């Protein structure tokens, strides 16, 4: 506490803001009640700028601190706790995203939707315009928590939709239309290619396309 109880406000010498002493300024000596003459914001900015000006120092310090805490950070208990928090956060985001996109497969002929259990474990996020490869190439927010966060921040853009895994995969392999909606789609390029490959006896090696 300040020695002089009357002094409760101070004007920052750098930015000129007048703030409550105990909230707006860092204490430098608790016993004597000394506070900085620049406000907390200005102190923070000055410190950040210092670390930015001294990258080698920042790196060395970070490595030293990490080395000191490494065993602790990598211990099973800490890792388990961290993983659990990530799982919970992802689930929390997923519930919001799925609810916003209707909580069911959006293919109108989807058997899972018509006769299924509506189990959300079958659901995936689909790129409506089949441009998932582009956002994957751009990186950032193409899967998992990052994607959910992006959708929430973007207020659930309609370039995404929910599809069950069958519809999503079928749509990708059928040139952008779910095979449920395209019963005569056997002539489409991808399917005939797949059938050819099966006919030749070599399994079609193709990475799963989700969106």
Q: Rounded to the nearest 5 degrees, what angle is found at the Cα of 58, between the Cα atoms of 54 and 64?
A: 145
The phi, psi pair for 202, rounded to 5°, reads -100, 125
- Residues in region 128-147 near Zn ion by CB under 5 A: none
Run of H or E including 113: helix 111-114
- List of E strands, 54-119: none
Q: How far apart are CA 114 and CA 144, in angstroms?
A: 27
Contact status: 169 vs Zn ion (CB under 5 A): no
The phi, psi pair for 86, rounded to 5°, reads -65, -45
Contact status: 49 vs Zn ion (CB under 5 A): no
In the complex, what is the shortest distance from the CB of residue 82 to Zn ion, in angstroms, rounded to a whole number?
A: 34
In the complex, what is the shortest distance from the CB of residue 197 to Zn ion, in angstroms, rounded to a whole number?
A: 23
Instruction: Give the one residue of 125, 151, 167, 169 binding Zn ion; rule: CB under 5 A.
Output: 167
Contact status: 125 vs Zn ion (CB under 5 A): no
Contact status: 123 vs Zn ion (CB under 5 A): no
- Residues in region 66-105 near Zn ion by CB under 5 A: 105
In the complex, what is the shortest distance from the CB of residue 7 to Zn ion, in angstroms, rounded to a whole number?
A: 17
Instruction: Give the interface with Zn ion as residue ranges (CB under 5 A).
Output: 12, 14-15, 39, 42, 105, 107, 110, 112, 164, 167, 178, 180
């Amino acid at each position: 506490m300040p020695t002089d109880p009357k002094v409760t406000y101070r004007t920052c010498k750098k930015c000129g803001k007048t703030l409550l002493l105990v909230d707006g300024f860092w204490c430098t000596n608790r016993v004597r009640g000394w506070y900085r003459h620049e406000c907390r914001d200005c102190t923070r900015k000055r410190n950040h700028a210092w670390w930015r000006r001294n990258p080698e120092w920042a790196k060395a310090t970070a490595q030293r601190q990490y080395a000191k805490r490494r065993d602790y950070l990598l211990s099973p208990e800490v890792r388990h706790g961290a993983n659990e928090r990530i799982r919970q956060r992802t689930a929390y985001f997923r519930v919001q995203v799925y609810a916003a996109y209707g909580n069911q497969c959006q293919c109108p002929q989807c058997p899972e939707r018509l006769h299924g259990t509506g189990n959300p474990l079958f659901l995936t996020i689909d790129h409506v315009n089949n441009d998932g490869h582009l956002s994957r190439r751009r990186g950032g927010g193409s899967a998992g928590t990052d994607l959910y966060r992006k959708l929430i921040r973007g207020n659930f853009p309609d370039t995404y939709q929910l599809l069950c895994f069958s519809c999503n995969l079928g749509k990708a392999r059928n040139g952008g239309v779910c095979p449920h909606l395209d019963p005569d789609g056997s002539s489409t390029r991808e399917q005939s290619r797949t059938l050819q490959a099966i006919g030749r006896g070599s399994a079609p090696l193709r990475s799963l396309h989700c969106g």
